[in-house]
Chains A and B, each alone.
Chain A
Amino acid sequence: MITILSDHTRQEVGERLDKKLRERKIATEFISLTDMNVGPCYSCGGCTDKTYGQCIHRDDGDIILPKLMRTDVLVMVTPVKWGSYSFKTKRVFDKCAVIGDRHYYYKNGELVKGKIGRVHTFVAIGVKDQWQNDEKSAFENLVAENIKIMNIKGRVHLVDASNISVFLDSAVEDLNQ
């Protein structure tokens, strides 16, 4: 299963990718963050001390997190702000800690954490009207660190108006494997 989590603010890359994958009969779940309301992680410890593995705050994380639990590939489509995920995307990402493997692993001389649910591949798609070079490398570095710490496979794509068609075709091929 491939799950696409998309913050639609000023971009429709996620929807277009989902449509293309469906045309190819590839199983996807599409989650739009537009009408979702996910609160912050307050780092209150409730997911350890009160309801183990579950956030004690009720919000649309209750809809999103069960879906993320059953996906193998997680695709996050996000507008990029200052080399980082959008606010809405990051709210969800922060809460993913609650469904993440809490154990530590040793890899390439360093400590890393485990995956989110059973996700084995993480694909981050950053969308921007116009990319500056330093923002490109900032987002690439951030995603590389995410992939490293989750100890999974993954990649990053930088999309803008000039490369969207080429990107969609190659992403479909890539995700079809």
Chain B
Amino acid sequence: MKKVVIINLSPRKKGTSMMLANRCREFLSVRDYQVEILHLYPNLKNLSPLLAAINEVQSIIMVGPCYINTYPADTVYLLEELEKNRDVLHGQDLYGIIQGGMPYVHTHESGLKMLELFAGENDLSFKGGFVIGMGAMLNGQPLDKLLNGKKAERGFQYFLENVAKQENSSSELYHQAQLKMPGMVYYLMAKMMNRKIDKERRGKGIGDQVKSPYDNTGINY
């Protein structure tokens, strides 16, 4: 039986990254894989459970959110610590999944590139990844709830098959699955979401012109 570890790079245990991690587990556990999901954030003080698990497996899947166009800061920390403990890295396959609020894939793709460069320097075999937009709207709900649900579902399924067979997964899969809408739709989406944001602010008694709590130029820190 082959072993795979899925690492949840999101601080949230019930978000979209975890929904995708669970999808990976369901798919691989019925295909002769022993699957373990581990969370990064509760282990930040002591990464040894993660290092030990990585040492044992054939494949690693890193799944996380996109923060400012790439994985969160603490993913960089995890990679730095893995580099320091290089003896646990010995040719395992590495796959990445990144998902974020914006609908396009180019805005999230840098995360996968980071994993690829890391793998190249540290005796891992990067075999590709999957990128999903509108993960914030999804907020942990199943993939088929996306506007491009059918396409995303199909692409992700192919990706999982690649993982199960330890094959390279082409970026074509997630490029083809991405939502394509005329500009007008995005223009209207922006209007709609902004109205919601402003309504929320007014509901909290915060006007549109309110200063940020950090904008206290009088105080000297």
Which residues of B have CB within 8 Å of A105?
190
Count of interface residues, chain B, beta-carbon cutoff 8 Å:
52
Among A86, A103, A106, which residue has its beta carbon within 8 angstroms of that of B197?
A103
Bitwise, B131-158 to A at CB < 8 A (1) or not (0) is 0000000000000000000000000000
Interface pair A84/B214, CB less than 8 Å apart: no
Asked if B67 is an interface residue, CB under 8 A from chain A, the answer is: yes
Give chain A nearest CB distance to B58 CB in angstroms. 23
Stretch at the interface among A12-20, A39-47, A165-173: A39-47
- Given A43-B15, A54-B214, residue A149 in contact with residue B102 (CB < 8 A): yes
- Given A41-B67, A54-B214, A90-B73, residue A81 in contact with residue B80 (CB < 8 A): yes
* Bound: A141/B112 CA distance, A: 12
Interface pair A70/B213, CB less than 8 Å apart: no
- Given A40-B11, A87-B80, residue A106 in contact with residue B186 (CB < 8 A): yes
Asked if B46 is an interface residue, CB under 8 A from chain A, the answer is: no
* Bound: A44/B215 CA distance, A: 22
Which residues of A have CB within 8 Å of B76?
81-82, 84-87, 90
* Chain A interface extent, by class: 35 or more
Asked if A53 is an interface residue, CB under 8 A from chain B, the answer is: yes
Which residues of A have CB within 8 Å of B79?
81-82
Interface pair B41/A148, CB less than 8 Å apart: no
* Bound: A99/B109 CA distance, A: 24
* A window 124-177: CB within 8 A of B: 134-135, 138, 141-142, 145-146, 148-149
Which residues of B have CB within 8 Å of A117?
212, 215
Asked if A69 is an interface residue, CB under 8 A from chain B, the answer is: yes
* Bound: A51/B79 CA distance, A: 32
Which residues of A have CB within 8 Å of B67?
41, 93-94, 97
Which residues of A have CB within 8 Å of B129?
none
- Given A43-B11, A81-B79, residue A145 in contact with residue B193 (CB < 8 A): no
- Given A41-B72, A43-B11, A94-B72, residue A51 in contact with residue B213 (CB < 8 A): yes
Which residues of A have CB within 8 Å of B107?
145, 148-149
Among B41, B104, B106, B215, which residue has its beta carbon within 8 angstroms of that of A66?
B215
Stretch at the interface among B20-28, B49-57, B114-122: B114-122
* Bound: A96/B102 CA distance, A: 17
* Bound: A102/B186 CA distance, A: 16
Give chain A nearest CB distance to B94 CB in angstroms. 12
- Given A90-B76, A103-B194, residue A70 in contact with residue B69 (CB < 8 A): no
* A window 29-64: CB within 8 A of B: 40-44, 48, 51-54, 62-63
* Bound: A115/B163 CA distance, A: 38
Which residues of A have CB within 8 Å of B118?
82
Which residues of B have CB within 8 Å of A138?
110, 113-114, 117
Residue among B12, B15, B67 with the highest chain A CB neighbour number at 10 A: B67
* Bound: A52/B203 CA distance, A: 12
Interface CB pairs A-B, < 8 A, 18: A41-B73, A44-B11, A52-B204, A54-B214, A65-B214, A69-B212, A83-B117, A84-B76, A85-B70, A98-B214, A111-B102, A111-B103, A111-B186, A138-B113, A142-B70, A145-B69, A146-B69, A149-B68
List 14 additional contacts besides A54-B212, A66-B217; criterion CB under 8 Å: A40-B11, A52-B201, A53-B214, A66-B219, A69-B212, A70-B215, A82-B79, A83-B113, A84-B76, A84-B114, A85-B70, A138-B117, A141-B109, A145-B110
